[in-house]
Amino acid sequence: TLGHQEGDLAITLLAQAIKQSIRKSDYAIRLGGDEFCIILVDSTPQIAAQLPERIEKRLQHIAPQKE
């Protein structure tokens, strides 16, 4: 494993990507460890289905690149 510091950074970056990917009316909650819950208020299945891709794209922009 990469250690606690790397794990903390990964969780922080994921939380940031989620926050930047959801609407102001939605909720993102960290349940513990690496588990998150996202509540999409007044959403459609199509919007919900697009969310993982939006989060992944956001992560690619904010995560440091490893060589």
Q: Which of these, 46, 42, 49, lies nearest to 25 by C-alpha position?
A: 42
8 tagged catalytic: no
Report CA 63 to chain centroid distance, whole Å: 11
CA distance 36 to 52: 12
The catalytic residues are 34
